[in-house]
A and B are shown apart, each in its own frame.
Chain A
Amino acid sequence: MSLVLRETALAFRRAPLLSALSVTTIAFSLFVFGLFGLVAVNIQRAIGNVAERVEVVAYLKRGTPLQAVALAAADIEAFPEVESVQHVTEQEALARARRDLREFQDIFQDLETNPLPASLDVRLRPAFRDVQRAAAVAERLAALAIVDDVRYGREWVEKLDRLRNIAGAVGTVVGAAFALVAIIIIGTTIRMAVLHRSREIAIMRLVGATDGFIRRPFLLEGILKGLLGGVLAVGLSYGGYALIDAYLLRASFFTAAQATLGVAAGGFIGLVGSLVSVGRHLRST
């Protein structure tokens, strides 16, 4: 093992320029992928924020006793899709309307009787904030005896769904393309390092080195370069994020887990790139 470490260190020391070039290339390809990842993460977060507003509102029949409302609310809260249920009384509904709908303030001001019904505002859990689930919950609410009418902004939720699907599909395709480009570039860089040492590999074979023995330092080198490139890419992405956040728009950065995953992905790509490059070289000579 110590020999593998020594050979790997030697490889870095003997070709510092080429090593630096590979690390930088890996870093920049991962950085481009990272920038895309940042966009994806932020779009997802934005959609998540909007989706938080997906709500099913059950308007109650006039004169429903409070006790019946409380019982129904408890039942609804037990639905697997439901996060919380809030009882909005008629007075609260009016107060809310006066506060939120300022342009109609005059109308609400002059009312003699309150025309607004009481309601149960049902918030769904994050995973259930789509058309089908909202519709299913609405249907079950409508079947309750105390409920007069149910609304959940169907068209709006449908649009949100479509947006989510498009973002998901574009994200997957573009992300896969970026990842592929990164892998190809990184593979080429590692192939250069292998070719740079082809004479050495030939000599190693002549003195009886096994392919496994020849491969090991290259694999370790690939992993190290990938990890270093990954760390650099996360740093560059953070720089990019900080600039965007300061001058363009409020954005959020990767979570620690996502950043770690990015660095690990660098190491993994480095490993696979070396495995393929060295394997191909060893088979072809």
Chain B
Amino acid sequence: MIKFTGVTKEYLKTGAALKQVSFHIARGQFAFLTGHSGAGKTTALRLIYLAERPTAGEVRVSGFSTARAGPREIPRLRRRLGIVFQDFQLLEDRTAEENVAFALEVTGARHTTIRPRVMRVLTQVGLAGKANQYPRELSGGEQQRVAIARARVNDPVVLLADEPTGNLDERATRGIFQLLKDINASGTAVLMATHDLDLVRSMDAHLIELQQGEVVYDSAEDAAGRQPVAP
């Protein structure tokens, strides 16, 4: 469903962020993308939602290919993805409900269907009672829940999370992580970039480790580098 084939991404100023990266994340999987800061995790995610194009190689996401997708297809791809960031990326002057509804409005969803769907996902993330509050009135963990609700409201095939717990304390981190696992349990694939090894160790999930732009470990292939045993 997400397939990197020999992907290299070079920047003019900083050089190669990814070198010959190949991996595959299957439908419905929970996968971790780990590595130190600057290992290339964020670049890999940006390639998935087509904020960047690879210098070489190909990224395929749910039927879209970086080799073929034109600019007009980018919005169509993003509506099938849910994206969550470390800094939440909420609109400060809209309430939690409006932030979530926004993701539906841009797709041209029917007005009458928006509110019920928004309230449903806000309930799922445990924020039904705070729908009318603005981001500044919410804690970090709650803001991230709004962001997750927004990412989820379009029923994405995969949820991309870039250090979603990076700004949160331990308790909020556990809550968000549990939420991501719940979402995965309902059938949505989750790809989470993190350098929190405690989280990674706490779960038996697909693990891809990047180091200086290269894949140094992929649990889907065994240590000797032979073909994957279970994709």
B91 near A206: Cβ-Cβ < 8 Å: no
B91 near A207: Cβ-Cβ < 8 Å: no
Of residues 187 to 243 in A, which have CB atoms within 8 Å of B's CB atoms? 200, 202-210, 213
Q: Does B64 contact A (CB under 8 A)?
A: no
B91 near A3: Cβ-Cβ < 8 Å: no
B78 near A206: Cβ-Cβ < 8 Å: yes
Q: Does A102 contact B (CB under 8 A)?
A: no
Knowing A14-B93, A203-B89, say if A208 contacts B105 (CB, 8 Å): no
B150 near A208: Cβ-Cβ < 8 Å: no
* B76 contact from A206, A208, A213, Cβ within 8 A: A208
A206 near B49: Cβ-Cβ < 8 Å: yes
Knowing A3-B105, A204-B106, say if A209 contacts B75 (CB, 8 Å): yes
B91 near A200: Cβ-Cβ < 8 Å: yes
Q: Does B83 contact A (CB under 8 A)?
A: yes
- Residues of A close to B83: CB separation below 8 A: 206-207
Interface residues on chain A, number (Cβ under 8 Å)? 14
Complex alpha-carbon distance, A206 and B74, angstroms: 9
Complex alpha-carbon distance, A203 and B89, angstroms: 7
Knowing A3-B105, A14-B93, A213-B106, say if A207 contacts B76 (CB, 8 Å): no
Q: Does B23 contact A (CB under 8 A)?
A: no
Interface size on B, as a range, is: 20 to 34
Knowing A3-B105, A213-B106, say if A207 contacts B93 (CB, 8 Å): no
Q: Does B159 contact A (CB under 8 A)?
A: no
B102 near A207: Cβ-Cβ < 8 Å: yes
Complex alpha-carbon distance, A206 and B49, angstroms: 8
Q: Does B143 contact A (CB under 8 A)?
A: no
Complex alpha-carbon distance, A14 and B91, angstroms: 12
Describe A's contact surface by its main secondary structure: helix
Q: Does B123 contact A (CB under 8 A)?
A: no
Of residues 137 to 175 in B, which have CB atoms within 8 Å of A's CB atoms? 150, 154
- Residues of B close to A202: CB separation below 8 A: 89
Q: Does B79 contact A (CB under 8 A)?
A: yes
- Residues of B close to A210: CB separation below 8 A: 72, 75, 106
- Residues of A close to B49: CB separation below 8 A: 206
B105 near A205: Cβ-Cβ < 8 Å: no
B91 near A209: Cβ-Cβ < 8 Å: no
Shortest Cβ distance from B130 into chain A, in angstroms? Answer: 20
Residue of A nearest to B150 (CB): A207
- Residues of A close to B77: CB separation below 8 A: 208
| Most chain A beta carbons < 10 A, residue from B75, B79, B83, B150 | B75
Complex alpha-carbon distance, A126 and B20, angstroms: 79
- Residues of A close to B105: CB separation below 8 A: 3
Of residues 78 to 94 in B, which have CB atoms within 8 Å of A's CB atoms? 78-79, 83, 89-91, 93
| Most chain B beta carbons < 10 A, residue from A14, A205, A208 | A208
Complex alpha-carbon distance, A202 and B72, angstroms: 16
Complex alpha-carbon distance, A134 and B174, angstroms: 95
A205 near B78: Cβ-Cβ < 8 Å: yes
Shortest Cβ distance from A193 into chain B, in angstroms? Answer: 15
Shortest Cβ distance from B52 into chain A, in angstroms? Answer: 12
Complex alpha-carbon distance, A213 and B105, angstroms: 10
Q: Does B107 contact A (CB under 8 A)?
A: yes
Complex alpha-carbon distance, A209 and B102, angstroms: 10
B93 near A208: Cβ-Cβ < 8 Å: no
A208 near B103: Cβ-Cβ < 8 Å: yes
A208 near B106: Cβ-Cβ < 8 Å: yes
* B91 contact from A2, A203, A208, A213, Cβ within 8 A: A203
- Residues of A close to B72: CB separation below 8 A: 210
Shortest Cβ distance from B178 into chain A, in angstroms? Answer: 24
* Contact flags B35-58 to A (C-beta < 8 A → 1, else 0): 000000000000001000000000
- Residues of B close to A203: CB separation below 8 A: 89-91, 102
Of residues 73 to 92 in A, which have CB atoms within 8 Å of B's CB atoms? none
User: 12 A-B pairs, CB-CB below 8 angstroms?
Assistant: A204-B102, A206-B78, A207-B78, A207-B83, A207-B103, A207-B106, A208-B78, A208-B79, A208-B107, A208-B154, A209-B75, A209-B106
Top 10 closest pairs, chain A to chain B, by CB:
A209-B106, A208-B79, A208-B78, A207-B103, A208-B75, A210-B75, A14-B93, A203-B89, A206-B83, A207-B106
New contact pairs (11) apart from A207-B79, A207-B103, A210-B75, CB-CB < 8 Å: A3-B105, A200-B91, A204-B106, A205-B75, A207-B154, A208-B76, A208-B77, A208-B78, A208-B107, A209-B75, A213-B106
